[in-house]
Structure 1
Amino acid sequence: MTSTPCGEKSVESCKSSLAALAPLQAVLFDVDGTLCDSDPLHYHAFREMLQEIGFNGGVPITEEFYMENISGKHNDDIAVLLFPDDVQRGLKSTDDKETIFRRLAEEQLKAVNGLYKVKKWIEDRGLKRAAVTNAPKPNAELMISKLGLSDFFDAVILGSDCDHAKPYPDPYLKALEVLHVTKDHTFVFEDSVSGIKAGVAAGMPVVGITTRNPEHSLIEARPAFLVKDYDDPKLWAALEELDKK
């Protein structure tokens, strides 16, 4: 197994990244940005909520601010970051934001390209699978349900149910425990810096998906390799190589 990021390398260079996991036991997925392109909905929900309460003098947050300070983080950490002098207000505000997000998700949520193709690949091989997310439980359940994946996952692991959420490895370590699999035969799909760091810290190769986050940021978190989505030839070359083993 190589831990050298190969976001910009050839298909051939990425083939061996997962091969050492054979025989593969399980695949773990983040939810936000990994199963679905939800970041635009979160951004709009945060922008609407923060503007309503007069954050930043009522000036709407920018997408750059959202990506740098909010995307991929747990709400407890966001509350501290945005409202360091009144964390309780921050927690109430993030709860209000989630209500807005769920309204938007009901209408606009879409799967990342190729998701159902990789879903079939996993099902055909009888692999175990879990969703591992920092999202609040109502959000996770809504997104998984809207995507038609409620019966696909063997378990849903929430950051809030662990001692530490991502970027700590705790949620991914708990997923391994719940599924009764080992890190040496499991890999992770993630789209955020904090998520990739969590998977790597748990000892697994992480396939980074460049849904919204810039490649250079993701590469610094040391994924096995990066793909555009689940249709990316680099991913299928690596999975085919894994099958051969």
Structure 2
Amino acid sequence: MTSSLPAAVLWDMDGTLVDTEVYWMSAETALVESFGGTWTHEQALTLVGQGLESSGAILQDAGVRMSVSEIVQHLTEQVMNQLAERGNPLRPGAAELLRDLRAAGVRTALVTMSLRSMAELVVSRLDPDSFDVIVSGDDATRPKPHPDPYLQACAALGVAPADTVAIEDSPTGVGAAVAAGIPTIGVPLMVSLIGTGATIWPTLEGRTPQDLTDFHAHATTHRDGGRS
């Protein structure tokens, strides 16, 4: 029997669709240093995949004397400025897979902890109608690693979480998708995803809708206790 395509594919943005983590790290470092502090690469890695309010609180602890909302707005503006200057730094294979999914009629959602303004800037530089739904950091009832953003995306699409696939790059994001009951593919960038509950693909380059179909069929069979 031929397996059917997933009902939807839910994409993380920073680090998964676009390689913006270096932009965030640069903005964080400059901000902390402007208040006389230091910000190491190891500290920056702890913010990968975090909600922006949580990140803002951590930066306050590092000496940034601004409110959390001011920190979030400042960092977002700095990253958006870099995106405006340089365009979308797409991860290998991401745009091609997204395009092929849309051509196959698969619904898609962008599930990101970045602000909607930044998500819309990134999406505006992709093919028209790349995403049916955007759930951003200012939409989520609770941030990743809570399942809320993914559950909100599924509700907006009208699909059951188990019938979808999520693609993530961070332990925080994988945790959110897995907690929502979504079979999850991890494509690591800055941090390891070993032991997070995701099936790890080193890259999306060369991946096709059929690969996602096969992954989902296997994940569903394994979850239901069937043979694989």
Structure 2: gaps spanning 5 or more residues: 219-228
Correspondence 1:72 to 2:49: yes
For residues 160-217 of structure 1, the C-alpha deviation after alignment (integer angstroms, 9 at most, x for no partner) is 222201110001001111001112210100111110000000001111011222x2xx
Higher relative contact order (CA 8 A, sep 6+): 1
Size of the alignment, in residue pairs? 216
2:201 maps to: 227
1:83 maps to: 60
State the TM-score, normalized to the length of structure 2: 0.84
| Counterpart among 26, 33, 43 of residue 15 in structure 2 | 33
Give the superposition deviation at 1:158: 1.5
Contact 1:27-1:187 within 8 A present in 2 as well: yes
Give the superposition deviation at 1:125: 2.0
1:189 maps to: 167
Identity rate of aligned residues, in percent? Answer: 25
For residues 3-55 of structure 1, the C-alpha deviation after alignment (integer angstroms, 9 at most, x for no partner) is xxxxxxxxxxxxxxxx998452110001111111110111111111221122x
For the residue of structure 1 that corresponds to 2:142, the secondary structure is coil
| Counterpart among 70, 92, 96 of residue 70 in structure 2 | 92
In structure 2, what residue type is equivalent to 1:42? W
1:177 maps to: 155
Structure 1 stretches (4+) deviating beyond 6 angstroms?
none
Contact 1:20-1:242 within 8 A present in 2 as well: no
Correspondence 1:130 to 2:112: no
Q: What CA distance in whole angstroms lies between the structure 2 residues aligned with 1:242 and 1:195?
A: 19
Q: What CA distance in whole angstroms lies between the structure 1 residues aligned with 2:162 and 2:121?
A: 31
Q: What CA distance in whole angstroms lies between the structure 2 residues aligned with 1:211 and 1:22?
A: 29
Contact 2:7-2:164 within 8 A present in 1 as well: yes
Correspondence 1:140 to 2:114: no
Q: Which has the higher helix share?
A: 1
CA-based RMSD = 2.7
